[in-house]
Amino acid sequence: MEGKDQKIERGELQALVKKRDSHVSRLFYMMLEFFLIFGLPALAAFFGGRALDSALGTGKLWLIIFLIAAFVLSWVIVVLRVRKITKELKVLDARIKEIRESRKTATAMNAGGHGTNLNQDLKGEEKNV
């Protein structure tokens, strides 16, 4: 029979794996977000710079300045987003590893047939991850 702690860990492990998988599936939406992060500032910089250059008669000075600023701003936003998601993934992966190691230890210490079921569960989870 499974212990209470093992049931809690199994539920938490499944929740953590599901949460990690949701982060991975967000990659598609992240690509769209990158398009918006780079596209909107670039468009605003292009039209704003062109309008300012026309009004002031400065050639392409403001257009170039605004495009460079938009590019730098876009990359700063991207780096901040990637750092945030990477930090979340590291925390989730560390907790998943901790639970798996404690389950392996519990399986090794369990002399009955219940250890085999836990071991099979671990193998099944490894394939799913």
| pLDDT per position as a tens digit, 62-96 | 999 999 999 999 999 989 988 999 999 999 999 99
User: How many structural domains is the chain composed of?
Assistant: 1
Evaluate whether residue 117 is within a structural domain.
no
Evaluate whether residue 20 is within a structural domain.
yes
Contact 26, 82 (CB under 8 A): no
pTM, full prediction: 0.55
Q: Give the pLDDT of residue 70.
A: 97
pLDDT, tens digit, 9 for 90 and up, residues 2-27: 566 677 777 888 888 888 888 887 77
- Let me know the angle formed at the C-alpha of 77 by 71 and 83, rounded to the nearest 5 degrees: 135
Q: How many CB atoms lie within 10 A of CB 13?
A: 20
Evaluate whether residue 122 is within a structural domain.
no
